[in-house]
């Protein structure tokens, strides 16, 4: 157990604190979220989640995100398929808020081996902007996202430790399938009750292709989840 914790800790340090030469701007932020999940049919879950983000060294409200997701698990095979609708109110560099609407389709797989869980999720994402309040065209941003994860939990333990990496590619521009950004996350989940979970995490968001200097934001977050 001690060796596993040490390994996860060292890996998280490598992921979260290694800065490439191209990066010139690093920011600190916070993420707070609450989620409610309900089983509506056999192997089918619906969830509602609210998330708040702060950046500029915790001093500025960055955005809110309200999401509705539907998820179906195939029995005995470890596959899941689902989708979601997101409403995002984001603070921009012009000191105003912009509405954004996101639609996603997910396909994921999880494999359990002893005390370990290995996962992969592929997501297609369409991001629409509020045309009434901005000078945008009507073509949405179309992203292809891939996330790999590994988690460890001892039998009968309330704690679960995990690491994940998610890679974003923008498909509808001149750099199709090129890596746009990366999100690396290390978290600890604690089971409060049979239905409630509390998670503490550190997330490293890195933009790869943007017009100005490369930006890296390290988020410290707390998330609460209730499963019905």
- Give per-residue pLDDT as tens, 208-224: 766 555 588 999 999 99
Three-state DSSP class for 78? Answer: coil
Total residue length of the chain = 228
Residue 23 has pLDDT above 50, yes or no: no
Confidence of residue 19 (pLDDT cuts 50, 70, 90): very low
d(CA 184, CA 203): 6
d(CA 22, CA 176): 21
Three-state DSSP class for 189? Answer: strand
Contact status, residue 56 vs residue 26, Cβ threshold 8 Å = no
According to CATH, the topology of domain 2-15+32-227 is: Porin (2.40.160)
Instruction: Write down the domain spans for the chain.
Output: 2-15+32-227
Average pLDDT (90-114) is 91
Of residues 140 and 199, more confidently modeled: 199
d(CA 34, CA 37): 10
Q: E-strand spans in 74-194?
A: 79-91, 97-113, 116-129, 141-152, 159-170, 179-191
d(CA 53, CA 50): 10
In whole numbers, what is the pLDDT of the chain averaged over residues?
A: 86
d(CA 102, CA 66): 10
Of residues 120 and 20, more confidently modeled: 120
DSSP-derived letter for residue 140 is P
Confidence of residue 133 (pLDDT cuts 50, 70, 90): low
Residue 93 has pLDDT above 70, yes or no: yes
DSSP-derived letter for residue 128 is E
Average pLDDT (11-32) is 65
Check residue 149 and give its pLDDT.
Answer: 98
Confidence of residue 82 (pLDDT cuts 50, 70, 90): very high
Check residue 179 and give its pLDDT.
Answer: 82
Of residues 147 and 76, more confidently modeled: 147
Spatial neighbors of 177 by CB under 8 A, at least 6 apart, are 144, 169, 171
Residue 106 has pLDDT above 50, yes or no: yes
Check residue 204 and give its pLDDT.
Answer: 95
Least Cα distance to 125 among 103, 106, 146 occurs for 103
């Amino acid at each position: 157990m001690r060796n596993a914790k040490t390994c996860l800790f060292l890996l998280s340090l490598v992921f979260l604190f290694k800065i490439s030469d191209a990066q010139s701007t690093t920011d600190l932020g916070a993420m707070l979220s609450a989620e409610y999940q309900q089983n509506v049919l056999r192997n089918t879950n619906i969830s509602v989640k609210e998330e708040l983000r702060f950046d500029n060294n915790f001093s500025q409200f960055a955005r809110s995100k309200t999401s509705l997701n539907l998820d179906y698990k195939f029995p005995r095979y470890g596959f899941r398929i689902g989708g979601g609708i997101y409403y995002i109110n984001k603070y921009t560099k012009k000191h105003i808020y912009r509405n954004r609407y996101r639609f996603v389709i997910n396909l994921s797989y999880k494999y359990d081996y002893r005390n370990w869980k290995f996962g992969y999720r592929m997501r297609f994402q369409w991001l629409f902007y509020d045309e009434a309040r901005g000078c945008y065209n009507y073509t949405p941003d179309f992203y292809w996202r891939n996330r790999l994860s590994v988690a460890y939990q001892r039998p009968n333990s309330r704690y679960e430790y995990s690491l994940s990496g998610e890679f974003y590619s923008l498909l509808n521009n001149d750099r199709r399938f090129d890596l746009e950004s990366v999100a690396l996350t290390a978290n600890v989940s604690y089971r409060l009750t049979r239905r409630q979970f509390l998670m503490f995490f550190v997330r490293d968001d890195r933009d790869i292709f943007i017009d100005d200097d490369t930006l890296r934001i390290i988020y410290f977050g707390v998330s609460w989840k209730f499963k019905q």
